[in-house]
Structures are given as structure tokens and as C-alpha cells.
Amino acid sequence: MNLVVGFAPFILFAFLSRLSADLALWIAFAAAFVVTIRDFVESPSLRLLDVGSLVLFALLALWRGFLDPSLPLPMVRFIAEAGLFLLLGGSLLIRRPFSMDYARLDPREAAWPPPLFRKVNYLVSASWTAAFLAMAVADGAVALMPRLALYGSIAVSVIALALAVTFTLRYPALAAKRLNS
């Protein structure tokens, strides 16, 4: 569940961006700041997702707020999703799935045999990476081809997030059940 909290800034951004892109960016930045500080106080280390979200939303909020206020919403969404895709995909490429930082906090998961722990975290991290790739492609298409309806990219975002959250909440429990049976 800690991992889903790590995505709270993006989830807030995704839902609030329909009201106002600027409001969504600043609230996502504030949420990323709170999550990063809270996690750092609990365990004095910085997690890739927390710091990445903090930097990404700070830069996007400042850019749109002060440098290019006319940056269209689909482009803002594309940049956020592409940035998170690169961050999460990079963690897989360097063989250090970002979800491991969160899974180690759960005593039950931390006690799993190392091969199972790695496999579960690779798959959970890959599911989020795939979700952000799908969202980035959908919003990139809308940003580059404005004649496309925004509703399609919204549907892709909702489905991708729902699948990633569901997989994150269910797959580790299924793996634990198989381990104990």
C-alpha cells in the first residue's frame, strides 16, 4: 500500500488536471513534497519515485506557471507521464526496481526468499512502467494531433492506473499465498 501512496501526487494530478492544469501541478508538487518528507522522516532515505515526482512536478509547475502558461494540458500530461515512464523504466534497466524501496518496509514481504522478492518487485515495477508508457503514448498522440479527442487518452489513463493499482495490491498477496501453501 505504501507504493500506491508514492503515486498519490500523480493520481491527484491526473484527476485534478480536468479542473485546472496549474492547480493540478501545484497540488501534485505539494503532495510530492509531503510524501517525500513523510517517508524521509520514517526512514532517513530518499526513494526514487518520491524524489522523481517532487522534481518533476516542481519543474512542470514552475515552467507552466512562469515560463510558458499557454502549454496545453495534453502536453503537460505527456511530459509528466513520459518523465515518470523514464524514471520507472530506468529503475528496471539498472536492475533496481523502484518498488523494492517500498516493499522492504513491509516486514512480511521483506522476509520473503530473495528470488521471490525480486520477481514480485520486477513485475510490480514493470506494471507501473507499462501503465505510464500507455498513458504517455495516449496523451502524446493527443498533444501532437489536437484533432484527436481527449476522451480517449483519459480512458487510457483511467484503465492503466486501475490495472496498475489492482496488480500492485493483488499480485504480492497472491505470491505470498503461493509461498505459504
Tell me: the pLDDT tens digits for 109-163?
888 999 999 999 999 999 999 999 999 999 999 999 989 888 899 899 999 999 9
3-state DSSP call for residue 84? helix
Tell me: the pLDDT tens digits for 73-106?
999 999 999 999 999 999 999 999 999 998 988 8
Number of domains in the chain: 1
The candidate with the shortest Cα–Cα distance to 98, out of 148, 49, 43, is 49
d(CA 107, CA 117): 12
Question: Are the C-beta atoms of 129 and 88 separated by less than 8 Å?
Answer: yes
This prediction has a pTM of: 0.93
**To the nearest whole percent, how much of the chain has pLDDT over 90?**
73
E strand or H helix at 56: helix 48-62
Angle at 83 between CA 80 and CA 87, to 5 degrees: 140
Look up the domain containing 14 and give its range.
2-180
